Amino acid sequence: MTMNPTNASLSGSMQSPRSQSSQPFLSVSVTDPVKLGNGVQAYISYRVITQTNFPDYQGPEKIVIRRYSDFVWLHDRLFEKYKGIFIPPLPEKSAVEKFRFSAEFIEMRRQALDIFINRIASHHELQQSEDLRTFLQADEEAMERFRAQESGIFKKKPSDLMQIFKDVQSKVSDVVLGKEKPVEESTPEYEKMKHYIFELENHLAEAQKHAYRLVKRHRELGQSLSDFGKAVKLLGDCEGNALGKAFSELGAKSETLSIKLQKEAYQILMNFEEPLKDYVRAVQSIKATIAERANAFRRQCELAETMKLKEINLDKLTLTRSDKVAEAQHEYNELKVESEQAAQTFETIVRLMNEEMVRFQEQKTKDMGIAFHEFAKGQARLANGIADAWRSLIPKLESCSSS
């Protein structure tokens, strides 16, 4: 279990699982990735350890085995049930076969899943979810059954989501252009928020791209230093005497620094680039919620429209004393209930989103603050290491020239 700083700030409401306090806590960790299965069917399983004193949960500690698709199941269930809440994002499904079982990828995914589950566990509403309880407590066969059941019914295909995004985006621009689109929410605050989210994603994606490139640059520089070191050593062998020794030592230092650079590359990948990617995912999750809100709004409007029509119809029928009045009245009543529900749903989403935005911004400020800090520390450490390594050569070089 890697307790990186991002983790530490997000894990559960309390830190110590062994505390006897009566404060409710729920602390989860995702650990021990293990490759199971063979060939194309191969996958990674994780140990999910839950420590809690929640009433419906088993024991002080429970351990289950889960795989990536179990996490996806949980995410989708929460997305369906808690409209308006920004569901914590999942790490991507990797398409590249070769990369899927690399140590780096596995660790990145494990870290991301750990963060994912802990964010849910520390969200005051989401942590109440039954699906979460299932996920954390059910045995493996039961989990598999649940997972198989739900696929297809609730799961929105990515293409559907894409369409929704496109609709939302086009509607934003339509409003800006002044086109009349009555079935769309358009308060100035909400417009501003949508615009903010869409722009934010672009900016973040760019920052993340450069962060990723920076990781590569560290690796490349490490490689160059290693090659240079080797070449310089060979040159030293040719020269012999004091100069030869100087070359050799320089070459050796160069190789040492190469290792430091590779290490730093990994650190940047895990503690800087990954949090930025996570930020992008979070923004995408908000976009999905925006799409849900649009749906809810549309439904509410449609129902309101339909109700109006039904009302007119009902009045007409009443006046003509038609025998269809009772039926029509019944329909109308049902519709009224639905309409009220739809309005309620929509309002809940609006309320939740406002709360979530505040929470989101605070959380991101903290996440980024930690990421920046770790990055800066790492860079400073690297630079100091480089300075120290080269500096140690100076007295030797000095003595060479005086001899």
Partner 1 sequence: MMDSEDQGVEEAHLYASKEEMENLVLDDPLSSKSYSNYRSAVSTLSDNQHPLSPSIAVTPADSDPLLAPPHYGEFGNPSAPDNSYIDPPSYGDAIFSPFNENNGNDVNVVDSPSQSSGSSPSFSRSSSGSEYLKITVSNPVKEQETSNSFVPGSNTYVTYLITTRTNIPDFGASEFSVRRRFRDIVTLSDRLAESYRGFFIPPRPDKSIVESQVMQKQEFVEQRRVALEKYLRRLAAHPVIMKSDEFKAFLQVQGKLPLPTTTDVTSRVLDGAAKLPKQLLGDSVIAPNEVVQPAKGGRDFMRLLKEFKQSMVNDWGSSKPPVAEEDKEFLEKKEKLQELELQIANASRQAESLVKSQQDMGETMGELGLAFIKLTKFENEEAVLNSQRVRATDMKSLATGAVKASRFHRELNAQTVKHLDTLHEYLGLMLAVHGAFSDRSSALLTVQTLISELSSLQSRAEKLEAASSKIFGGDKSRISKLEELKETIRITEDAQHVATREYERIKENNRTELERLDRERQADFLNMLKGFVVNQVGYAEKIADVWTKVAEDTSRYVNDDST
Give the nearest distance from C-beta 78 to partner 1 in angstroms: 21
Minimum CB distance to partner 1 smaller for 326 or for 383: 383
Give the nearest distance from C-beta 158 to partner 1 in angstroms: 27
Minimum CB distance to partner 1 smaller for 131 or for 274: 274
- The DSSP code sequence of 190-225 is HHHHHHHHHHHHHHHHHHHHHHHHHHHHHHHHHHHH
Minimum CB distance to partner 1 smaller for 13 or for 151: 13
Binding site for partner 1 (CB under 8 A): 5, 8-10, 13, 122, 192, 196, 199-200, 203-204, 206-207, 209-211, 213-214, 217-218, 220-221, 223-225, 227-228, 230-232, 234-235, 237-239, 243, 246-247, 250, 357-358, 361-362, 364-366, 368-370, 372-373, 375-377, 379-380, 383-384, 386-387, 390-391, 393-394, 397-398, 400-402
Of 41, 30, 220, give the one whose Cα is nearest residue 136. 30
DSSP, collapsed to helix, strand or coil, labels residue 174 as helix
Give the nearest distance from C-beta 368 to partner 1 in angstroms: 6
Of 142, 289, 6, 47, give the one whose Cα is nearest residue 133. 142
Give the nearest distance from C-beta 341 to partner 1 in angstroms: 30
H or E element that contains 49: strand 43-52
Half-sphere exposure of 230 (CA within 13 A, CB side): 6
DSSP, collapsed to helix, strand or coil, labels residue 161 as helix
Minimum CB distance to partner 1 smaller for 237 or for 340: 237
> Do residues 218 and 262 touch, judged by C-beta distance below 8 A?
yes
Give the nearest distance from C-beta 37 to partner 1 in angstroms: 37
Give the nearest distance from C-beta 270 to partner 1 in angstroms: 16
| CB-based burial label for 81 (10 Å; 0-12, 13-18, 19+) | middle
306 — phi, psi (to 5°)? -60, -40
Minimum CB distance to partner 1 smaller for 44 or for 386: 386
